[in-house]
Homo-oligomer: A and B are copies of this chain.
């Protein structure tokens, strides 16, 4: 047995409690608590003895006992449509960053955009007595009633639920982002831009579609209903929608993809149809993802500050107790990142030959 010491050293012995430390130091539990939490006054000699005992016993206060008494757990819940989605992952990183500075843990769970599942998660979080919930919501308002029962602070991110206007939110100015993209496309000379909607964790798709329609109208370009298509959810659906669009209307010169899933579909389908980007068709995608820069040509995108969104959501959650009544949502800007996937339509002056590309 000697020499076989690893992480499994002592799987049986129970962890030391505050009582053990008190006994070892020859003081009362109250004193130990005072020393370890730094509150109240303790004589230097006693403090030293307690600290030594705690170190000796490898004492680690139980968050359970502490949480029970203090009525707060020091943990918060994060509800996401999908951890695997780059936007959500980046968002999570932001939440984690901020939570760390606050000394909170983060319990993560995924809803897969299913309201029932989201409700179940909220229910579980409530049972766990998390100090608050941050969510990229998918669901109907009903699922969030559970949060109110325990008076749980909630912050929504990316999207809001229309039936719950009172919930504080951290949003991205998607409207402005889409507007900039359409503006750019129309400015290049595309009179009939197409819109490829689809699953987009982190925003209501309708917002983008509406922004698209409004901007196209405003700029005096033509809004061709045949050119705005929507995919349900999933890669395949987006691919099918894109394929349908390109097949039905071989004359499209520019498409705005409402998320990275439809964006990916657009790139793939364009290649499938042997359309050159941007010579034959220009593509702009909402959401910056690592591969956008690796594409050939690199994709022009509308970038959302996902990480910052997460950080801010967490900050709002902390400050929430102070604010009464409804807080105006925090809105962060989206940015148009011009790379190489757009050019004037064929036949227009300035259309570049195939080889030219940004970067």
Chain A interface residues toward B at CB < 8 A: 4, 6-15, 58, 60-65, 67-68, 73, 75, 82-84, 86, 89-90, 92-93, 96, 100, 105-110, 123-124, 126-129, 141, 144-154, 164-167, 264, 267-268, 271, 289-291, 293-296
Contact (Cβ within 8 A) B6 A164: yes
Contact (Cβ within 8 A) B267 A13: no
Chain B residues with CB below 8 A from A153, complex form? 11
Q: With A106-B108, A294-B268, A296-B271 in contact, is A8–B166 under 8 Å at CB?
A: yes
Contact (Cβ within 8 A) A62 B127: yes
Q: How far is the CA of A1 from the CA of B37 in the complex (A)?
A: 41
Residue from A75, A90, A100, A291 whose CB has the most chain B CB atoms within 10 Å? A291
Q: Which residue of B lies closest to A268 (CB)?
A: B294
Chain B residues with CB below 8 A from A146, complex form? 60
Contact (Cβ within 8 A) B60 A126: yes
Contact (Cβ within 8 A) A106 B107: yes
The A interface is mostly helix, strand or loop, or mixed, namely mixed
Q: With A126-B60, A151-B11, A164-B6 in contact, is A83–B92 under 8 Å at CB?
A: yes
Q: With A294-B268, A294-B291, A295-B294 in contact, is A84–B73 under 8 Å at CB?
A: no
Q: Which of B65, B75, B124, B166 contacts A107 (CB 8 A)?
A: B75
Chain B residues with CB below 8 A from A165, complex form? 6
Contact (Cβ within 8 A) B96 A7: no
Smallest beta-carbon distance A243→chain B, Å: 14
Number of this chain's copies in the assembly equals 2
Chain B residues with CB below 8 A from A105, complex form? 107, 109, 124, 128
18 further interface pairs, Cβ-Cβ under 8 Å (given A6-B165, A62-B129, A105-B107): A6-B148, A7-B147, A7-B164, A8-B148, A10-B148, A10-B149, A10-B151, A11-B151, A61-B127, A62-B68, A68-B68, A83-B83, A83-B92, A106-B109, A108-B108, A267-B294, A290-B291, A291-B295
Residue from A8, A123, A166, A267 whose CB has the most chain B CB atoms within 10 Å? A8
Chain B residues with CB below 8 A from A96, complex form? 83, 108-110
Chain B residues with CB below 8 A from A14, complex form? 151
Contact (Cβ within 8 A) B67 A64: yes
Can you offer 15 A-B residue contacts whose CB atoms are under 8 A? Answer: A7-B147, A8-B148, A12-B151, A15-B151, A60-B146, A60-B149, A62-B68, A62-B127, A63-B127, A64-B68, A84-B89, A84-B93, A93-B110, A105-B124, A107-B107
Chain B residues with CB below 8 A from A73, complex form? 64
Q: How far is the CA of A269 from the CA of B145 in the complex (A)?
A: 53
Chain B residues with CB below 8 A from A264, complex form? 290, 294
Contact (Cβ within 8 A) A154 B83: no
Q: With A7-B144, A164-B6, A267-B294 in contact, is A60–B154 under 8 Å at CB?
A: no
Chain B residues with CB below 8 A from A65, complex form? 68
Residue from A65, A75, A96, A108 whose CB has the most chain B CB atoms within 10 Å? A108
Q: How far is the CA of A83 from the CA of B171 in the complex (A)?
A: 21
Smallest beta-carbon distance A170→chain B, Å: 15
Q: How far is the CA of A92 from the CA of B65 in the complex (A)?
A: 29
